[in-house]
């Protein structure tokens, strides 16, 4: 399924068009997809920029056109002589702040058109590198016993990274560094910001309880994701109508809650005032 497919299904289950997601998953990938319903769709702009965590399997010895298992194999190279230490070193070199070239077969727009569409039409693209941060890239296993392919090395990894990082590109670049090519054979997103796989619901579960598909109310989600400020009754009225509050020195953006515990707005402070970026209080 694509992320768009999931949104379409949630719209049907929740009986509303106001549904969006907080960061695309490749069709091959499984795991966490944050969905916003109703007013919560307005918070998704913050979720998209949150850090993410993954488990993945990299196959060394084969390169593909898409840098993952969905694309055709375009090169096969023997991995004889590729040591475990060399594998670990090639991956360690990709940690920290790095300039990463996204996969050409990606959803990035080039002159208004998705890169993958241009590649499928026969165009050869070289995308510019982007600065990303890979804060964790741990090797969990190195295996040389793939039953379906001889002479490849499969590497299981755990990754925590900034938004915009391509795990497929990590696989590709490790293969390039080792001179044998590489691609991704499995990808599972385990967390988006503080939202984890452990609390996620399957689509089958949501189908059974529809139209009640929301498992984290708007106020609870905001409290989990942002610093919190509690407003007085007067402040709540001002902010609810889009007016500014006095700054209190909280690094923003942060969530402001009314005396009743309801979420009023997401605000940021500048020039001594706290101004709403998004007002979420019911009209």
**Positions marked catalytic:** 26
Selection from 258, 252, 260 nearest residue 274 by Cα: 252
Q: In angstroms, what CA-CA distances link 143 with 2, 57, 87, 181?
A: 30, 10, 11, 16
The DSSP bridge pattern shows strands 130-143 and 153-161 to be antiparallel
Report how far residue 188's alpha carbon sits from residue 57's, in angstroms, rounded to the nearest whole number.
9
Residue with tokens 């299904």: 9
Phi, psi of 5 (to 5 degrees): -60, -40
Residue 268 burial (CB count, 10 A): 15
What is the per-residue burial (b if ≥16 Cβ within 10 Å, else e) of 206-242?
beeeeeebbebebbebbbebbeebebeeebbebbbee
Taking each helix axis from N to C end, the angle separating 84-92 and 167-178, rounded to the nearest 10 degrees, works out to 130
Report how far residue 90's alpha carbon sits from residue 84's, in angstroms, rounded to the nearest whole number.
10
- CB-CB contact of 27 with 148 (8 Å): no
- CB-CB contact of 84 with 218 (8 Å): no
Report how far residue 183's alpha carbon sits from residue 57's, in angstroms, rounded to the nearest whole number.
9
């Amino acid at each position: 399924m694509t992320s768009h497919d999931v949104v379409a299904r949630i719209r049907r289950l929740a009986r509303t068009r106001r549904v969006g997601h907080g960061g695309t998953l490749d069709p091959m990938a499984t795991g966490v997809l944050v969905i916003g319903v109703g007013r919560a769709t307005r918070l998704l702009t913050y979720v998209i920029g949150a850090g993410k965590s993954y488990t993945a399997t990299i196959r060394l010895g084969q390169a593909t056109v898409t840098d993952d298992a969905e694309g055709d194999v375009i090169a096969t190279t023997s991995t004889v002589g590729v040591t475990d230490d060399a594998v670990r070193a090639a991956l360690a070199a990709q940690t920290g702040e790095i300039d990463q070239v996204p996969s050409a077969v990606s959803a990035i727009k080039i002159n208004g058109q998705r890169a993958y569409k241009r590649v499928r039409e026969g165009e050869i693209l070289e995308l510019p590198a982007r600065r990303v941060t890979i804060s964790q890239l741990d090797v969990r296993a190195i295996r040389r016993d793939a039953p379906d392919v001889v002479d490849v090395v499969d590497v299981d990894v755990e990754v925590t990274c900034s938004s915009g990082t391509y795990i497929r590109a990590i696989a590709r670049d490790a293969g390039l560094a080792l001179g044998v090519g590489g691609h991704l054979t499995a990808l599972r997103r385990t967390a988006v910001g503080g939202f984890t796989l452990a609390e996620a619901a399957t689509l089958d579960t949501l189908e059974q309880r529809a139209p009640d598909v929301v498992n984290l109310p708007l106020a609870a989600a905001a409290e989990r994701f942002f610093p919190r400020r509690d407003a007085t009754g007067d402040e709540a009225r001002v902010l609810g109508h889009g007016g500014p509050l006095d700054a209190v020195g909280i690094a923003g953006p942060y969530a402001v809650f009314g005396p009743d515990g309801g979420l009023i707005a997401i605000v940021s402070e500048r020039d001594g005032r706290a101004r709403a970026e998004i007002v979420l209080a019911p009209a």
